[in-house]
Amino acid sequence: MGKEKWLLCPVCGNKTRLRLRVDTILINFPLYCPKCRQETLITVQQLNMSIIREPDAQTQSR
């Protein structure tokens, strides 16, 4: 289990404050980057990160 890596920000590519192990699983995790101050919703399984894109809010028409 010795393999670990830093979780990188998907926006600017810098290190965040989190380290991941091979057996770490994150689902719908709000990742905050202290450098670019962006929050991104991600899912991580076996050190593979995927970004969750939420649809923009639509205005209601009458």
* Residue at 56 is within a domain: no
Domain residues for the domain of 32 are 4-51
Residue range 29-44, pLDDT digits in tens? 999 999 999 999 999 9
4 token code pair: 């670990």
* Residue at 42 is within a domain: yes
Q: Which amino acid is at 37?
A: R
Tell me what pLDDT residue 7 has: 94
Average pLDDT over residues 5-30: 94
Domain count along the chain: 1
Neighbour tally for 62: CB within 10 Å: 2
Q: What is the pTM of this model?
A: 0.76
* Residue at 59 is within a domain: no
* Residue at 15 is within a domain: yes
By CB atoms closer than 10 A (0-12, 13-18, 19+), residue 2 is exposed
Tell me what pLDDT residue 55 has: 72
* Residue at 31 is within a domain: yes
* Residue at 60 is within a domain: no
